Amino acid sequence: MHVGSLASVLALAVAFFAPPASANETVAEQTRNSANWAMQQGDYTAQRFSKLDEINTSNVKHLKVAWQFSTGVLRGHEGSPLVVGSVMYLHTPFPNNVFALDLDNEQHILWKYTPKQDPFVLSVMCCDTVNRGLQYANNTIFLYQNDASLVALDAQTGKERWKVSNGNPKIAETGTGAPIVVKDKVIVGVSGADHGVRCHVTAYSIVDGKRLWRAYSTGPDADILVDPQKTLSLGKPVGKDSSLKTWTGDQWKIGGGSTWGWFSYDPALDLVYYGTGNPSTWNPSQRAGPDGKPIDQKWSMTIFARSPDTGIAAWAYQMTPFDEWDYDGVNEMILVDDMAIGGAKRNVLVHFDRNGFAYTLDRATGEPLVAKPYDNDLNWSTGVVLDKQAPDYGRPKVVAGKSTFLNGPDEITKYICPGALGFKNEQPASYSPLTGHFYIPANSVCMDMEPFKVTYTPGQPYVGATLQLFPPEGKSSTGRFTIYDAASGSIVKTIEEPFSVWSGMLTTAGGLACYGSLEGYFKCRDQADGTELFKHRLPSGSIGNVFTYAHNGKQYIGLFSGIGGWAGIGLAAGLDKPNDGAGAVGNYAGLKSYTDLGGTLTVYTLP
């Protein structure tokens, strides 16, 4: 399974000098080789499933630490390393250092890249100084820095090939997400909705960094790259000014719609999928229509399907119109073929939204096929309307008592489930074709929310709400390992974890589902029933995504530890007031009894 170093170098060199359109084939070729972990999402489907099976349910109990590597940086370590051939590429939180390690030579550091960033960006980052990982194509490593600079590095030497700015940190445009490479383009989003940033997704040439298109989340049709007659929503054309008509005045100019989550791609349909985040501000009363009634604020909280060549949207589906709870829609879009739904096989997109609903959509049209809670404590809505003839088709039915808008500003709306960080945040779920089920690293957190009036000032927080986060009534734990059937919309099994599971899930052909825990354990469970098969203490709590690779015919599995992110912001940033970190500090106060800051990659294998 291992490709020799010289052969790898020659192959990569040939790939780099091939025509730009070969980038798509380069990514596809590298991800088809199960010995690699050549993409943050695993592959274009974002299933995070590996065909490697040397480590399996019968022998995983024998796993031992093969080696560890300290990144030299504290704060939250999200994402995972990449492995291409005999080289591993690691990233860190700010300052976003990049390492290339030689797997043929005891992880010798081949090169290290240290970005030069203005530390001012730290003051405008929302939820820790995280970075969700590198991407690879055509002998190039793509790094998206916290200061919103996109950098192309030579994979062999670490030298800069080009560098472009995708945003302005002075007005709180920042970078935390991982890009995606499709054909001859690298596509990346931007963070900043909590500071009133008008967010976007942008495509750059992988050759020279030239900007090729940009699609905003809000604004005129020409800016959001929709065709009023051809872009569909719920099976119908979106029509002229689909975004402008759902905002009051010029509010769309500070409308939010962050795009810091994950991308996936369907080569057959030639569509890239991603989600947009909350509208700015969190206070819904300040976003009401001229008549004082709710208004959708399109296209925040939306799943988009776009052409990678032009950026034009094929379809858009808004999950939480007129968001009142900060239920960002940026979580991963998992693509599965031939799912049996209603007696027919469909090629679908499955999305576990922060609002607590799991959506199964036809990925060619955006039609919602299934929309059910993936946690039984959801209480802000009684369900999503799937009757195509209903006037509210595709929309959630809001429970009046959980509406922060109806209760009004400066009033506390109590016991809303999920809380603002969602029943699942950015930590990606995984799908296993062995079982046909999805494996969700979940939060079980509710909230009290009090909106208040806030004034927009460029570069300053534009939140307008205070939160208290806590477990659901009658429960003490805030984490879940959940097995879910997206075809039927049913929860197969739920296993409680002491703290939110903020680590990306990995499934393998060995029947395993593996993840890290906030308090600092690496765990593997049986996909069949969730039985815990392996557990090992990590140097720090983990919010990293589990990955696997093979080297010299031997399988390895690993993850970052390094507490942080929204859930661990108290420890990461030294905060101690319960309401700090949008309520996360109080909810996760117990973490300090289990773990502290770190920054380590741990890799396991069989003896």
Each residue's pLDDT tens digit, 496-554: 999 999 999 999 999 999 999 999 999 999 999 999 999 999 999 999 999 999 999 99
CA distance 367 to 314: 12
SS percent in the chain: helix, strand, coil, step 5: 15, 35, 50
Nearest to 607 by CA among 564, 556, 565: 556
Whether the pLDDT of residue 4 is over 90: the answer is: no
Q: What is the DSSP letter of 169?
A: G
Output the pLDDT for position 70.
97
Map tokens 């590198």 to a residue: 134
CA distance 462 to 453: 10
CA distance 511 to 175: 35
Query: How does residue 50 score in pLDDT terms, banded at 50, 70 and 90?
Result: very high
Residue 72 CA: distances (Å) to CA of 90, 109, 240, 246, 312: 12, 13, 51, 47, 42
Cis-peptide, bond into residue 281, ω within 30° of zero: yes
CA distance 199 to 180: 17
Half-sphere exposure of 146 (CA within 13 A, CB side): 26
Whether the pLDDT of residue 257 is over 90: the answer is: yes
Output the pLDDT for position 554.
98
Output the pLDDT for position 556.
98
What average pLDDT score do residues 161-166 get? 98
The side-by-side arrangement of strands in the sheet containing 64-70 is 64-70, 600-605, 554-561, 547-551
Tell me which of 134-138, 157-161, 432-436, 569-573 is least confident: 569-573
CA distance 191 to 177: 8
Q: Which CATH fold topology does 5-605 show?
A: Methanol Dehydrogenase; Chain A (2.140.10)
441-452 residue pLDDT tens: 999 999 999 999
Output the pLDDT for position 18.
36
Nearest to 274 by CA among 231, 196, 334: 334
The residue type at 462: Y
390-427 residue pLDDT tens: 999 999 999 999 999 999 999 999 999 999 999 999 99
Q: Are 527 and 515 in contact (CB under 8 A)?
A: no
Output the pLDDT for position 12.
32
Q: Which residues are catalytic?
A: 326
Output the pLDDT for position 584.
85
Query: How does residue 579 score in pLDDT terms, banded at 50, 70 and 90?
Result: confident
Backbone phi, psi, residue 109, to 5°: -75, 110
For the chain, how far is it from start to end, CA to CA, in angstroms?
Answer: 19
Output the pLDDT for position 6.
28
What average pLDDT score do residues 470-483 get? 96
Whether the pLDDT of residue 342 is over 70: the answer is: yes
Query: How does residue 90 score in pLDDT terms, banded at 50, 70 and 90?
Result: very high
Query: How does residue 577 score in pLDDT terms, banded at 50, 70 and 90?
Result: confident
Q: Are 554 and 560 in contact (CB under 8 A)?
A: no
Backbone phi, psi, residue 372, to 5°: -135, 155
What average pLDDT score do residues 287-300 get? 97
- Helix, strand or coil for residue 264? strand
Output the pLDDT for position 7.
34
Backbone phi, psi, residue 441, to 5°: -85, 110
Note if the pTM is more than 0.85.
Answer: yes
Q: Average pLDDT over the chain, rounded to whole?
A: 94
Residue 142 CA: distances (Å) to CA of 108, 113, 149, 204: 21, 12, 10, 11
Q: What is the DSSP letter of 37?
A: B
Whether the pLDDT of residue 386 is over 80: the answer is: yes
CA distance 460 to 500: 29
Nearest to 206 by CA among 185, 183, 229: 185
Query: How does residue 1 score in pLDDT terms, banded at 50, 70 and 90?
Result: very low
Output the pLDDT for position 596.
84
Q: What is the DSSP letter of 256?
A: B
Instruction: Pull the structure tokens for residue 595.
Output: 């773990």
CA angle centred on 484, ends 481 and 487, rounded to 5°? 170
| Exposure b/e, 137-163, CB count within 10 A at least 16 = b | bbbbbbbbbbbbbbbbbbbbebeebbe
264-291 residue pLDDT tens: 999 999 999 999 999 999 999 999 999 9
Cis-peptide, bond into residue 451, ω within 30° of zero: no
CA distance 298 to 275: 12
Map tokens 């959506």 to a residue: 359
Q: Which residue has the higher pLDDT, 578 or 142?
A: 142
Nearest to 513 by CA among 482, 478, 538: 482
The residue type at 24: N
What average pLDDT score do residues 447-461 get? 97
Backbone phi, psi, residue 287, to 5°: -115, 10
CA distance 254 to 23: 35
Residue 372 CA: distances (Å) to CA of 32, 349, 384, 435, 488: 32, 14, 8, 20, 9
Output the pLDDT for position 100.
98
- DSSP letters, 541-594, are ---SPPEEEEETTEEEEEEEE---TTTTHHHHHT--STTTTTTHHHHTGGGGGT
What average pLDDT score do residues 141-170 get? 98
- Helix, strand or coil for residue 176? coil
CA angle centred on 109, ends 108 and 112, rounded to 5°? 175
Whether the pLDDT of residue 20 is over 90: the answer is: no
The residue type at 442: A
Nearest to 428 by CA among 322, 327, 352: 352
Output the pLDDT for position 589.
86
23-47 residue pLDDT tens: 578 999 999 999 999 999 999 999 9
Q: Are 10 and 18 in contact (CB under 8 A)?
A: no
Map tokens 């990461």 to a residue: 572
Whether the pLDDT of residue 569 is over 90: the answer is: no
CA distance 369 to 358: 11
| Contacts of residue 299, Cβ cutoff 8 Å, sequence gap at least 6 | 217, 218, 224, 242, 243, 257, 276, 316, 318
Torsion angle, CA of 340/345/351/356, rounded to 10 degrees?
-40
Nearest to 266 by CA among 365, 353, 178, 344: 365
Residues across the chain: 607
Instruction: Pull the structure tokens for residue 170.
Output: 């002075």
